[in-house]
């Protein structure tokens, strides 16, 4: 139970960090979207995560239940394409956390998230969409955990790097999927907004995980929890 308590606490902290950061980047994301989309991504994501905070506030059940509530809040509030892509993928992937958050289930979550994202949006890598950030992130996370046997925090740091390379990869290419594809070659030179918001979320998850997995303070705060599980709260990633 203590493990779960810490995970839930970390989850709430992560959501708060993500929401704060999206609020701060609202204008930037909308500027990116106005160049190649319909100029609502920043406002949508900000509104969505404010709703996430409202809906999850005080929830102290299983982590999977909280993650499911996150997906549902996004689905209800964001709409458009980003709502089903982010919210629907989180909803589906949340089932992978039914047994709790471990290194194993967090990889399963990440893979289920990517699979649903591609299935729903029909996008493949190289089409200038959020898939370009999520795909390398998920593959890197899986490899780091399963093959390289890295501690979750290091795995997550590598995941953020991979996502960042993915975002940079969207700049020079031409969009062939999504709203930006209508612009054809005029989409070249712009950073994809969905890939960018994905990176922002991952960065905040890393920030939170660092606080909870690396800091001795986090341990001291919870006397009933002698050790924070080393396969802990990284599973919200992707």
Partner 1 sequence: MKKLINEPADVVDEMLDGMVAAYPDQVRRLDDIEVLVREDAPIDGKVGIVSGGGSGHEPTHAGYLGEGMLDGAAAGEVFTSPTADQLQEMIQACDGGAGVLCVVKNYEGDVMNFDTAAELAAMEDVEVEQVVVNDDVAVEDSLYTSGRRGVCGTILVHKAAGAKAHQGGDLGEVKAVAEKVIDSVGTMGMALTSCVTPEKGEPTFDLGDEEMELGIGIHGEPGTERTDVMSADEITEHLTEGVLADLDLDEGQEIVTIVNGMGGTPLSELFIVNRKLQEIVDDHGLETWDAWVGDYMTSLDMMGCSITVCAVDDELKELLAHPCDTPALTVRD
- Would you tell me which residues interact with partner 1 (CB under 8 A)? 72, 75-81, 83-85, 87-88, 91-92, 120-122, 177-179, 181-182
CB atoms within 10 A of CB 31: 16
Tokens of 152: 């979750």
> Burial level of 179, CB count in 10 A (0-12/13-18/19+)?
middle
Closest to partner 1 by CB, 122 or 189? 122
**Least Å distance between CB 50 and partner 1?**
16
Nearer to partner 1, 133 or 180 (CB): 180
With respect to partner 1, which residue has the nearer C-beta, 53 or 150? 53
Q: CB-wise, 55 or 165, nearer to partner 1?
A: 55
CB of 149 to partner 1, least distance (A): 34
Neighbour-count burial of 196, counting CB atoms closer than 10 A to its CB (0-12 exposed, 13-18 middle, 19+ buried): buried
User: Cα(71)–Cα(76) distance, rounded to whole angstroms?
Assistant: 9
Residue 182: CB minimum distance to partner 1, A: 5
**CB 106 to partner 1: min, Å:** 22
59 three-class SS = coil
d(CA 107, CA 191) in angstroms, rounded, equals 27
Nearer to partner 1, 61 or 80 (CB): 80
Separation between Cα atoms, residue 55 and residue 47, nearest integer Å: 12
Cβ at position 123, least distance to partner 1 in Å: 9
Cα separation, 212 vs 133, in Å, equals 25
């Amino acid at each position: 139970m203590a493990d779960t308590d810490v995970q839930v606490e970390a989850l709430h902290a992560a959501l708060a960090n993500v929401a704060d950061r999206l609020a701060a980047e609202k204008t930037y994301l909308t500027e990116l979207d106005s160049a190649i989309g319909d100029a609502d991504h920043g406002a949508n994501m900000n509104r969505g995560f404010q709703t996430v905070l409202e809906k999850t506030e005080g929830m102290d059940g299983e982590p999977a239940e909280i993650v499911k509530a996150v997906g549902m809040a996004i689905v209800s509030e964001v709409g458009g394409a980003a709502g089903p892509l982010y919210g629907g993928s989180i909803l589906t992937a949340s089932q992978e956390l039914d047994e709790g958050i471990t290194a194993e289930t967090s990889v399963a979550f990440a893979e289920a998230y990517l699979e649903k994202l591609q299935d729903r949006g029909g996008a493949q890598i190289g089409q200038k969409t959020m898939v370009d950030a999520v795909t390398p992130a998920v593959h890197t996370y899986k490899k780091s955990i399963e093959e390289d046997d890295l501690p979750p925090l290091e795995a997550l740091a590598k995941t953020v790097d991979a996502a960042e390379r993915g975002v940079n990869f969207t700049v020079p290419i031409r969009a062939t999927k999504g709203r930006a594809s209508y612009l054809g070659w005029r989409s070249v030179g712009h950073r994809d907004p969905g890939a960018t918001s994905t990176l922002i979320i991952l960065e905040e998850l890393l920030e939170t995980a660092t606080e909870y997995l690396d800091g001795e303070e986090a341990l001291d705060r919870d006397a009933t929890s002698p050790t924070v599980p080393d396969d802990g709260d990284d599973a919200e990633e992707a």
